[in-house]
Chain A
Amino acid sequence: DGGITQSPKYLFRKEGQNVTLSCEQNLNHDAMYWYRQDPGQGLRLIYYSQIVNDFQKGDIAEGYSVSREKKESFPLTVTSAQKNPTAFYLCASDTSTGELFFGEGSRLTVL
């Protein structure tokens, strides 16, 4: 089945550590996105990529980094510079008509 796979589902980080969240899609979509979801807030855009080897910062990119070396993959690294990383992270890709399709999410907790 086509879809977006995020891993791991749950992740724990110690202070000062970098962690990487994986996102893979087999939908052949060009554009991919990373969102952060916190209770009581709408989804906030971290980074997006519309084509391989190109990506743009979203509204809350500080403390995060991404790469887009393959069309299918868009990993997100949460660096030690992100001061409040505990959140639910969602990866998405969009169709040619603009609908976003999401993965199942990764929950990151800082110990």
Chain B
Amino acid sequence: EDQVTQSPEALRLQEGESSSLNCSYTVSGLRGLFWYRQDPGKGPEFLFTLYSAGEEKEKERLKATLTKKESFLHITAPKPEDSATYLCAVHSNTGNQFYFGTGTSLTVIP
């Protein structure tokens, strides 16, 4: 069964304290793995797409990596404006379906 599990559910960091969010997945055929940022009451905002193990993408303080079983979203020296819920999703070859994790709620304290 295709599924996505994110951990931790919630993370509180001091400003400047780097950390990583995890996304573990099982999928019959991976077309792509996606990271999104979601602010309260808003739609998810696209961050990254990763297609194959070993691939890395960077954007400002965020870096996403991918292995055959999981992806990490590394946050370097976070700022309060990075506070949001980060969602991971996989796009399966089977039936053109997207599977979403439940997200990690990140709070960065000044």
Contacts and interface: CB of A to CB of B under 8 A. Distances in A.
Contact of B103 (A42, A92, A101, A103): A42
Chain A interface size range: 20 to 34
A99 B41 contact: no
B96 A50 contact: yes
A90 B43 contact: yes
Nearest to B32: A98
Interface of A is mostly: strand
Interface of B: 4, 31-32, 34, 36, 41-46, 49, 87, 89, 91, 96-103
Given A43-B87, A104-B43, 18 more contacts: A4-B43, A6-B43, A31-B96, A40-B102, A41-B102, A42-B99, A43-B89, A45-B98, A97-B32, A98-B32, A98-B91, A100-B34, A100-B46, A100-B89, A101-B46, A102-B44, A105-B43, A107-B41
